Amino acid sequence: MAQQETDEQTQINDGFVVDTEDCEARELAHRERGTARPITVVGNPVLHKECKDVTEFDDSLAALIDDMFASQKAAEGVGLAANQIGVDLKVFVYDCPDDEGVRHTGVVINPVLQELPAEQRVLDESNEGCLSVPTAYAELARPDYAEVHGQDAQGNPIKVRGTGYFARCLQHETDHLYGYLYIDRLSKRDRKDALRQMEEGTPRYETVPNA
Ligand code: NI
């Protein structure tokens, strides 16, 4: 997910990963080992189909995660899915503040968004953007709380939860790995407007040209 115009998951808390500690050091370590790669944009087939499940939790997965953190930082994103750097695997990384201003940093492999009971679903209508739809933003209503179940880089089961802007990020990144962009959730008119914004803007980071 794109930043708004305005910045070792080992401990467990209530069954949920603690992703708020040592964020700066963890993000830096990944990014320094990795290499930033150009970002795929709407129209690239890799963004419009479900990614493959990760089955090997090996060094190449670790290297992918490092490259994803480097790419996320280079593009000033708050979340990045593997298909946004052209890799067809269910992996996303994030470095995102919640609505209390608390920073969350982590990685989720094979994420599955948990359905919330209707009575727990409070919609938050806020601005959303995506590195794969550069320079465009649109208002989109999403639940203000999200839970994602998946695995860590070693293959251990993990649960991640978030509120507000971070909840939006968890939903947005999971969507990516199932082949959906946030503009797919907009009205026809708003989608068209977002694509027009993209046409008129110039990304501040390197993108992969569409064939
Ligand atoms: Ni995105």
User: Considering the domain 2-201, what is its CATH architecture?
Assistant: Alpha-Beta Complex (3.90)
Catalytically annotated residue among 5, 173, 199, 200: 173
Helix (H, G, I), strand (E, B) or coil at 27: helix
How many whole angstroms from 25 Cα to the centroid of ligand 1? 24
Which of 143, 144, 157, 146 lies closest to 17, judged by CA?
157
Question: With 50 as the cut, is the pLDDT of residue 6 above it?
Answer: no
Model pLDDT, residue 4: 60
**Is 199 considered catalytic here?**
no
Counting residues of the chain whose pLDDT is more than 70, the rounded percentage is 95
Q: What is the pTM of this model?
A: 0.93
Question: With 60 as the cut, is the pLDDT of residue 108 above it?
Answer: yes
Question: With 50 as the cut, is the pLDDT of residue 7 above it?
Answer: no
Q: How far is CA 120 from the centre of its chain?
A: 23
How many whole angstroms from 166 Cα to the centroid of ligand 1? 13
Question: With 60 as the cut, is the pLDDT of residue 44 above it?
Answer: yes
Sequence-distant (6+) residues with CB within 8 A of 11 are 17, 18, 21
How many whole angstroms from 18 Cα to the centroid of ligand 1? 23
- Answer whether 107's CB lies under 8 Å from 65's CB: yes
How many whole angstroms from 75 Cα to the centroid of ligand 1? 11
**How is the chain split into domains, by residue range?**
2-201
What are the pLDDT digits (tens) for 52-75? Answer: 999 999 999 999 999 999 999 999
What are the pLDDT digits (tens) for 131-150? Answer: 999 999 999 999 999 999 99
